[in-house]
Amino acid sequence: MTVLPKPTSNLRRWSTSAISRICTAKQPAPAEARTMPRILVVESNPKVESDRLEALSGQALGPLYAATLEGLRDDVETVVISPYDGDETPDLSGFDGIAFTGSSVEWNTDDERAAPLAAVMRAGFAAGLPTIGSCNGMQLAASVLGGSSSASPNGREDGLAGDIRLTDAGRAHPMMAGREDGYAVPCTHRDEVVRLPEGAVRLAGNGHSNVQAFAIDRDGVDFWGMQYHPEFSPSYVGRYLRLSGRIAPDVADDLEAAETDESAAARLSTTLRDQAAPRRTVELANWLARL
């Protein structure tokens, strides 16, 4: 994993506990010369939020997303940038895909303050790169492509997004291969997509948010998005929500045990199988398989 700094930035932006390796950016090999997929991971929090999240749960979103992708496929190389901290979009000819993390900023993706993220996403779409986004990353795509996001009238959805149901289109879409009706995935969100862009296909939803997943493939745009966080383990989101005071301690206990304790998983209306990484991360694995 590479964290791509600004020319004058301090590489200690991420602590050594958050990333397995920090190095200065190398010139990318031409696409035809590369032997492994190279993915740009866009950290969608500014440093102040990344530092807070790392203190609460042990890892910031960009390094976590990168580590998850690298864990799913041995030959993946990732580079993390932080547009809110002034990182410029690198030469995208050196990448095979882009992944956008979630975010905990106070504004939604329709807000002009999201412009630094939107600029990177537009550049990726213009370059024709396959793009995936979780939570804020999905909402950002909706906003960039002419849809809209706003605060959910149902309030926050924290812990697990449960009883997610596939649409007919979702059952046939490659992103959702391996998913079955009623699945549950870690989540924490305030906002949701309220209007899909023209040409977007809704793939899944639940009682809280009608759009839990969508995809769009038109005019050179190739995007997959999830409202939930397949890159989060239940224990990660449980630690974060416990220390931020958003859920009851007993629910946090169950989240932190949901990968190993069948009773804890059952109390959350899920199973050990669904919360194990191979099952929980299927959207990411399906996306990587295309690169």
Provide the annotated active-site residues.
135, 229, 231
Distance from C-alpha of 94 to C-alpha of 2, rounded to nearest angstrom: 13
The burial of 43, by beta-carbon neighbours within 10 Å (0-12 exposed, 13-18 middle, 19 or more buried), is given as: buried
Distance from C-alpha of 271 to C-alpha of 285, rounded to nearest angstrom: 20
How many other CB atoms sit within 10 Å of the CB of residue 283? 26
**Termini Cα distance of the chain:** 18
Residue 266 three-state SS: helix
Nearest one of 182, 181, 187 to 161, comparing CA atoms: 187
Nearest one of 289, 128, 109 to 189, comparing CA atoms: 109
Helix residue spans in the chain (DSSP H): 47-57, 61-72, 115-126, 136-144, 168-172, 234-244, 249-257, 262-267, 272-275, 277-280, 282-288
Distance from C-alpha of 287 to C-alpha of 283, rounded to nearest angstrom: 6
